[in-house]
Amino acid sequence: MIAMSTRARSANPPSPSVIYPRDEQDLMARIGTRTSFARDDEIYGQAEVADLIYQVVSGAVRTSRLMSDGRRQVGDFYYQGELFGMEPGQEHVFSAEAVADTVVLIVKRSVAHEASGGMLEQLVGGAARRELQRAHEHVLILGRKTACEKVASLLMNIADRSHYESVELPMGRQDMADYLGLTIETVSRMLTQLQVSAVVEFAGLRSFQVKNRQALSLLTQ
Amino acid sequence: MIAMSTRARSANPPSPSVIYPRDEQDLMARIGTRTSFARDDEIYGQAEVADLIYQVVSGAVRTSRLMSDGRRQVGDFYYQGELFGMEPGQEHVFSAEAVADTVVLIVKRSVAHEASGGMLEQLVGGAARRELQRAHEHVLILGRKTACEKVASLLMNIADRSHYESVELPMGRQDMADYLGLTIETVSRMLTQLQVSAVVEFAGLRSFQVKNRQALSLLTQ
DNA sequence: CGCCCCATTGAATAAACTCAAGTCCCGTGG
DNA sequence: CCACGGGACTTGAGTTTATTCAATGGGGCG
């Protein structure tokens, strides 16, 4: 289950402390346990007790939910520096897996409560609020956007987090499809369409550049 | 904007304190301001500052979000006893309107903080967690369910809250459609289909009975 | 270099949407 | 109490969008 990490990668990108408050970084790094997961490893499972808090150090994570007949819905993607695993109930409704080789900091909620003097509670609270905001955005994407707008929204979202011209897509097409409520083929067609219309340009399957930001923004509605 | 309430209605159903902790009821009732809204009245608007907490006394409320071209997504419905209006950001992303004639208790967050001695924070925290849970459920409904399953899920959800055989549908077909990411015609067709297959039975447009709970449950996946 | 997996492309199908007409519920007024 | 009118809902036919199924293409790792 637990695999070797590609920790070397974390040397290149700018320090995540640029985006997230220093405290958050420090606290999790100080009291958290570093663990590595290989591509598609499960980090936690559906119906597991939700007592741990996680932070992505490198790589990316998806949460997902499986229906009895195999249909899958991806809840969200988590990137470098982001907290995940805080679910409202006692048990996880979603499972979490590593999208790519990933390193994660893990903190036991009950333990951390004392060790952090309540500071962790604040971090978790903030992350939970962001969580709700993103879920609401996701609802809009799923409920009222066309396939093209859905794909554009996801690309825009990822591009907005990137500090580089060239944007890395950590997830494969199936993950994108399951996040957007589409099939893999439709995602592929829309990506082609966006590239043909010179909105984005792909250099390989998992790396693209935004060529026309305004057009992309319009497509996200 | 502010209309007379149908307060008489509140004589019939069992006291909401059956479902919600007495404290919650008491606190909101003690420090809240009672306000009535007519059908389709706006309770708060998109981009308004989110400093107020609301509780439904009678009637029902929907939160919704409008896209620039008029497409609408309903975020959720709130029924008797439920809290709403707690959004993560400073400003509301959704607006809230009365689905039917509705009475609401309103509490100013900043004021309530002192008046309740922190108790309100707990209530809001709990409600926010439920909020996230429901948003996650909504994501699954929107992303991976068929039209029939979507409608079945909504009916089941509403039926589960009801204490009676006969279930009241507070919202119209358009609201259901905008919640489920469907058109009004598709909702109508699915309702007909569910009725023809003897899963539910409608007595008028806004009232139904579950005739085959197991079948309905299966359809919700 | 070659193989395998993932992604793309194409054609046919199915699901949900659009547009249009008809029906029913319900409140209003006679 | 019943007739009436209007808005909400239902139904139908044709269209669009996204899916399904199948075949082809290409990138990256051994």
pLDDT one-digit tens code per residue, B76-114: 999 999 999 998 888 999 999 999 999 999 999 877 677
- In angstroms, the CA of B125 and the C1' of C3 are apart by 55
Whole-number pLDDT of residue B58: 94
Pick from A88, A133, A144: CB nearest B73: A144
Q: How would residue B118 be classed by pLDDT, with cut points 50, 70 and 90?
A: confident
Cα distances (angstroms) measured from residue A138 to each of A65, A98, A115, B101, B153: 15, 20, 34, 30, 19
Whole-number pLDDT of residue B99: 96
Distance CA A71, CA A178 (A): 9
Strand-strand pairing, A61-66 and B83-84: unpaired
At a CB cut-off of 8 Å and minimum separation 6, what does B56 contact?
B78, B79, B80, B81, B82, B84, B102, B103, B104
Residue B11, min C-alpha distance to chain A (Å):
33
> Residue A121 pLDDT more than 70?
yes
Nucleotide with minimal C1' distance from the CA of B183 is C17
pLDDT digits (tens, 9 = 90+) for A32-75: 899 999 999 999 999 999 889 999 999 999 999 999 999 999 99
Pick from B68, B87, B130: CB nearest A88: B130
DSSP B126-166: HHHHHHHHHHHHHHHHHHH--HHHHHHHHHHHHHHH-SSSE
pLDDT digits (tens, 9 = 90+) for B204-221: 999 999 999 999 999 999
Q: How would residue A15 be classed by pLDDT, with cut points 50, 70 and 90?
A: very low
Percent of chain A with pLDDT over 70: 88
Task: Find tokens 């919704």 and name the residue.
Answer: B64
Distance CA A154, CA A181 (A): 12
- In angstroms, the CA of B212 and the C1' of D20 are apart by 32
Mean pLDDT of B170-195: 98
- Closest residue in A to B65 (Cα) is A140
> Residue B14 pLDDT more than 60?
no
> Residue B3 pLDDT more than 50?
no
Give A65's strand partners: A73
Residue A116, min C-alpha distance to chain B (Å):
20
Closest CA to A220 of A152, A160, A155, A159: A152
Nucleotide with minimal C1' distance from the CA of A173 is C7
Q: How would residue B15 be classed by pLDDT, with cut points 50, 70 and 90?
A: very low
- Closest residue in B to A68 (Cα) is B221
At a CB cut-off of 8 Å and minimum separation 6, what does B51 contact?
B108, B109, B110
Distance CA A73, CA A180 (A): 8
Mean pLDDT of A138-162: 97
Pick from B128, B133, B135: CB nearest A139: B135
> Residue A18 pLDDT more than 50?
no
Mean pLDDT of B168-187: 98
Mean pLDDT of B129-153: 97
Pick from B68, B75, B139: CB nearest A73: B139
Residues B110, B102 contacting (CB under 8 angstroms): no
Q: At what angle do helices A119-144 and B173-180 cross, to 10 degrees?
A: 110
Distance of CA A147 to the CA centre of its chain: 20
At a CB cut-off of 8 Å and minimum separation 6, what does B140 contact?
A65, A67, A73
Mean pLDDT of B57-72: 96
Q: Which helix (H) or strand (E) holds B112?
A: helix B109-115
CB atoms within 10 A of CB A210: 22
- The mean predicted confidence, pLDDT, of chain B is 88
Residues B197, B215 contacting (CB under 8 angstroms): yes
**What is the DSSP code (8-state) at residue A32?**
P
Looking at the C1' of nucleotide C19, which residue has the nearest alpha carbon?
B185
- In angstroms, the CA of B136 and the C1' of D7 are apart by 35
- The mean predicted confidence, pLDDT, of chain A is 88
Q: How would residue A22 be classed by pLDDT, with cut points 50, 70 and 90?
A: low
The set of strand C positions with any atom below 7 Å of a protein CB reads 6-11, 15-20, 25-26
Q: How would residue A124 be classed by pLDDT, with cut points 50, 70 and 90?
A: confident
Whole-number pLDDT of residue B6: 34
The residue of B140, B217, B221 whose CB has the most chain A CBs within 10 angstroms, and thus the best one to mutate to test that interface, is: B140
Nucleotide with minimal C1' distance from the CA of B207 is C25
Whole-number pLDDT of residue B22: 61
Mean pLDDT of A155-172: 95
CB atoms within 10 A of CB B90: 8
> Residue B191 pLDDT more than 90?
yes
What residues of chain B lie within 8 A of the CB of A144, using their CB? 67, 71-73, 181
> Residue B55 pLDDT more than 60?
yes
Q: How would residue A24 be classed by pLDDT, with cut points 50, 70 and 90?
A: low
Task: Find tokens 């400003």 and name the residue.
Answer: B91
Residue A177, min C-alpha distance to chain B (Å):
10
> Residue A2 pLDDT more than 80?
no
Residues B37, B99 contacting (CB under 8 angstroms): no
Query: What phi, psi does B82 have (nearest 5°)?
Result: -85, 145
> Residue B10 pLDDT more than 50?
no
- In angstroms, the CA of A186 and the C1' of C9 are apart by 11
User: In 3-state terms, what secondary structure has residue A5?
Assistant: coil
- In angstroms, the CA of B188 and the C1' of D25 are apart by 44
What residues of chain B lie within 8 A of the CB of A93, using their CB? 133, 136
Q: Which two tokens stand for residue A5?
A: 């990490």
Whole-number pLDDT of residue B94: 95
> Looking at this protein, which amino acid is placed at residue A30?
R
